Structure 1
């Protein structure tokens, strides 16, 4: 382990903008590889909400560079979400490759925005960039980050927009705007005439990305131009992909991993823990996944960089490249491939009171032939609240036994399991349902019902429906869990999950136009029969 010294260095981009970075280097006359993180939150933070401090990385024999992206921290220029990260990333790497005391080899790490900057920089194919470790990213910015199955991810998007807008106000010295935004970050503004488009953003954050995201409710060129998916042909280098079962961007992590695994000639490793976006520890929501769940990512990244930047042979990286945490057994599962061995279906059965009686709706093994329709009445005055999962703040698994007592949630439990059930992959819900409005939403949540009656969610999905095409298929959050013998599965369906997702007013309008005043009561009918089968499809290992 090396002693570490710190300094601040700057360079000027091709268009004359100064970018600043904190540089941590071992106190030695040796030459070392470089680890780069580019982020928008102030370089002193250095993503220490999930990673070890840069001093720790530097002490293992690396020059660690934490850079403020354009228009953030002390760097000059105007911040425009992702817009300049390709050029600035290339210029930064070119500058670093000539840094005194370096070997010239560069690796990158970081999560969220810091993960995205890796992909943009890698797309320029700089020769000295040998590997990246993108964590919790979007592959397709629209489908993996901004919207889920056409529904605007309100709580995460608005919260993030307010945070970035507050930082902009702070940098400008606008005390009034900063404190208003800070206050709003602690209690999101969710009662304006257009719920998903609060006046605060128009008043205090006119240059925020939020305006683009809310005003582009469908996938178009705006989203395409900012999505790493469009750069995939230019990406080919070793990648360590990192995600969390309750991270809102897990879809992006897995989609990127699958795309690279298909095309790349280089190793692609994958780690998914029982984590939300942050932190990466043993506890999330109401669950304690034991010390086994505490992140080992820092040491793993050192091993990864030691191999690709220093040439060390480290066998465990490639003998078991997939590391998945199996919840409830609370063990890491290691493998060469992540694949579903088989699928198991449960079918919806009800006598029409699945929103009233715990034992009326059921998940059954055989296709039912005498179902009665279930009815959900969504009241916009008191929408079903979000509780945990991947899209809510806070995220994770919570006891939802009380929430599922609501009459606007229909529940379908299975019989008690006679043996353990291991689920690993992406569950799907395929249902037949219609509503009496132009548009409606469906939230589907899978939970484990414990023998003591507590109900813990482990996967969910959400969809906005604007057509009469049936059946409706909802891809739920990928998961890895062992449901123990004597527990039950439960599927919960509702017409809202607010404020995780923007409220559907039933008018058919997009979230940037939906007036709260126009919100309709929505009646949703759900059914299943031998010709129209509503079911859940579980990936079983």
Structure 2
């Protein structure tokens, strides 16, 4: 693992730290919020780091960060606060609803703490990351820097839905955890046990998979029904989302964003960086994306230490005025999951370089082609989605086991169409956005499309690089269907190949589409019907994969159409040779 230079500098000797004390504040509407405050045991005034949590302040998010004592020992007052309705704070927890006003009040309170210099920064991941951005939208004068991680930008598209499809596993898991915490606060032991058990084993085989009995029984403890019954973007979602408040955010607050390639909210983090850094006269904005899930980088060994030091360097620069070069690093730093090194860039490259899909009707059997130019011949591949056996979620960002996992077995299924390139003859680096323009139709008014872009290793492993998903509503544009996929940073070596996999489901990351347009909260397992997808290709209907601009043109053009990777039965990694004119 390459470190996040230049932030791994020699740190000064740590200061002694006082035992934490619990300190309370009142919001503008009179709600008491409790916090644990850590201070250096030394004379002087110190900047304040504010961490506002929905998961309980006593955890201090040590799953992702060093303990607050570590930051206090380096010259900061650290306040770890329970948000409204969580931990021991008063009020009722309703996700994101009060975080703008409460966050601004908490910043002002933190600036007034004994020993504070009056300057405040915020940090935290997930919900705590969104809480920072919402507080920023209130423009509290004392807020001088933020460092949201794994946070997203829009509650609808980053937390509840993706491509119009409900984020089943991710959203349900979080709703159950929130409900269990609410039951614990009210000392409802029966509900707490049932909800906690459901967190450990998601009740995905319920009669209504998106609204299982345990969530129906304890709906009073969670927001789950609210999210299920409001599937379209609109004012209610905008009221919760930093994306809709960007014009209110002061441009002079430096922003360090941290994301992970396998984090469900990565797409929003990328959009946030582009929106925030594009403002005239904006303070430094930096984006760092590592090989991490929403659980953070702890499994990456020294990268966990690097993350804390990266953040500390940012705060030292903008709260203490240290000339440490934090703002001179590249605006975008991406970890290359293929080469195992970091890339710096001025911005995220758009998806413009194209590889075209082509099949002869057997893409779900022996595989189709992925080639630089569209074939003169028209092709149509058929994929039949059977709701009794949906295509499983394999790795990626949306399922219960995110990350890099071999999807060779999933690609070998007869309900997955694959399109493969020839093996590379020279290295190919992809760093930026990816999209799929897919000419597709179905025999149902509503259907889903799941897509994965993978690298095929010479030993036959198929390792996903990025995914995309869309729920196609009745009457939606599918000629083509523009399917945004998540960004990628990977260098492919000679002998490796690219593969696009397309299916009609990806369960349990997303609910099985019944085909009739019903919302997931109203869909029973018995309602789902088989759906046939037609995937078109060729000059007249050019389905194509769009890769990041700057991808090496010679390497792409060298991907001839003379060979594909078979996914048929028997030997799923055998190489078949065929001329495109025979397709």
With the length of structure 1 as denominator, give the TM-score of the two structures.
0.95
Aligned match of 1:424? 431
Aligned match of 1:262? 278
Preserved contact between residue 347 and residue 533 of structure 1 (Cα < 8 Å) = yes
Distance (Å, rounded) in 1 between the aligned partners of 2:103 and 2:73: 25
Within-5 A mapping of 1:78-227 = 78-227=92-241
SS at match of 2:545: strand
Preserved contact between residue 422 and residue 540 of structure 1 (Cα < 8 Å) = no
Preserved contact between residue 24 and residue 58 of structure 1 (Cα < 8 Å) = yes
Question: Which residue of 532, 537, 541 corresponds with 2:546?
Answer: 537
SS at match of 2:489: strand
The answer to whether structure 1 residue 328 and structure 2 residue 338 are counterparts is: yes
Aligned match of 1:3? 16
Aligned match of 1:315? 325
Question: Which residue of 433, 437, 442 corresponds with 1:435?
Answer: 442
The answer to whether structure 1 residue 247 and structure 2 residue 263 are counterparts is: yes
Preserved contact between residue 288 and residue 332 of structure 2 (Cα < 8 Å) = yes
Preserved contact between residue 437 and residue 482 of structure 2 (Cα < 8 Å) = yes
Preserved contact between residue 351 and residue 546 of structure 2 (Cα < 8 Å) = no
Preserved contact between residue 21 and residue 38 of structure 2 (Cα < 8 Å) = yes
Deviation, structure 1 residue 25: 0.6
Number of equivalences = 531
Aligned match of 1:497? 506
Deviation, structure 1 residue 137: 1.7
Deviations 1:128-187 (A, max 9, x none): 111111112232211222111111111000000001100111111111101111111111
Question: Which residue of 390, 395, 418 corresponds with 2:397?
Answer: 390
SS at match of 2:159: helix
The 1:468–1:2 alpha-carbon spacing in structure 2 relative to 1, beyond 3 Å, is: closer
SS at match of 1:253: helix
Preserved contact between residue 390 and residue 477 of structure 1 (Cα < 8 Å) = no
Distance (Å, rounded) in 2 between the aligned partners of 1:217 and 1:297: 35
Deviation, structure 1 residue 540: 4.2
Distance (Å, rounded) in 1 between the aligned partners of 2:220 and 2:462: 43
The 1:446–1:341 alpha-carbon spacing in structure 2 relative to 1, beyond 3 Å, is: closer
Distance (Å, rounded) in 2 between the aligned partners of 1:69 and 1:308: 26
Preserved contact between residue 429 and residue 490 of structure 2 (Cα < 8 Å) = yes
Aligned match of 2:46? 32
Preserved contact between residue 145 and residue 252 of structure 1 (Cα < 8 Å) = no
Within-5 A mapping of 1:360-399 = 360-399=367-406
Preserved contact between residue 164 and residue 470 of structure 2 (Cα < 8 Å) = yes
Distance (Å, rounded) in 1 between the aligned partners of 2:127 and 2:30: 23
SS at match of 1:269: strand
Distance (Å, rounded) in 1 between the aligned partners of 2:305 and 2:383: 41
Aligned match of 1:288? none
Deviation, structure 1 residue 292: 7.3
Distance (Å, rounded) in 2 between the aligned partners of 1:46 and 1:195: 33
Aligned match of 2:349? 340
Aligned match of 1:287? none
SS at match of 2:239: helix
With the length of structure 2 as denominator, give the TM-score of the two structures.
0.89
Preserved contact between residue 134 and residue 242 of structure 1 (Cα < 8 Å) = yes
SS at match of 1:275: strand
Aligned match of 1:526? 535
SS at match of 1:353: coil
Query: In terms of mean alpha carbon deviation, does 393-402 or 485-494 score higher?
Result: 393-402
Please, which runs of 5 or more residues in structure 2 have no aligned partner? 1-13, 551-583
The 1:411–1:147 alpha-carbon spacing in structure 2 relative to 1, beyond 3 Å, is: same
Distance (Å, rounded) in 2 between the aligned partners of 1:451 and 1:292: 30
Q: Displaced runs of 4+ in structure 1, greater than 3 A?
A: 291-295
Preserved contact between residue 427 and residue 491 of structure 2 (Cα < 8 Å) = yes
Aligned match of 1:507? 516
Deviations 1:306-338 (A, max 9, x none): 111111112243243322111111001123x02
Deviation, structure 1 residue 341: 8.0
Aligned match of 1:286? none
Preserved contact between residue 25 and residue 64 of structure 1 (Cα < 8 Å) = yes
Distance (Å, rounded) in 2 between the aligned partners of 1:524 and 1:322: 38
The answer to whether structure 1 residue 238 and structure 2 residue 248 are counterparts is: no
Aligned match of 1:271? 288
Deviation, structure 1 residue 478: 0.8
Preserved contact between residue 431 and residue 487 of structure 2 (Cα < 8 Å) = yes
Preserved contact between residue 421 and residue 540 of structure 1 (Cα < 8 Å) = no
Distance (Å, rounded) in 1 between the aligned partners of 2:173 and 2:411: 27
Question: Which residue of 488, 492, 496 corresponds with 1:487?
Answer: 496
Distance (Å, rounded) in 1 between the aligned partners of 2:432 and 2:276: 18
Deviation, structure 1 residue 205: 3.0
Distance (Å, rounded) in 1 between the aligned partners of 2:511 and 2:457: 31
Please, which runs of 5 or more residues in structure 1 have no aligned partner? 284-290
SS at match of 2:292: coil
SS at match of 1:512: helix
Distance (Å, rounded) in 2 between the aligned partners of 1:153 and 1:430: 22
Distance (Å, rounded) in 1 between the aligned partners of 2:435 and 2:350: 16
The 1:321–1:530 alpha-carbon spacing in structure 2 relative to 1, beyond 3 Å, is: closer
Distance (Å, rounded) in 2 between the aligned partners of 1:351 and 1:468: 26
Query: In terms of mean alpha carbon deviation, does 261-270 or 238-247 score higher?
Result: 261-270
Deviation, structure 1 residue 393: 1.8
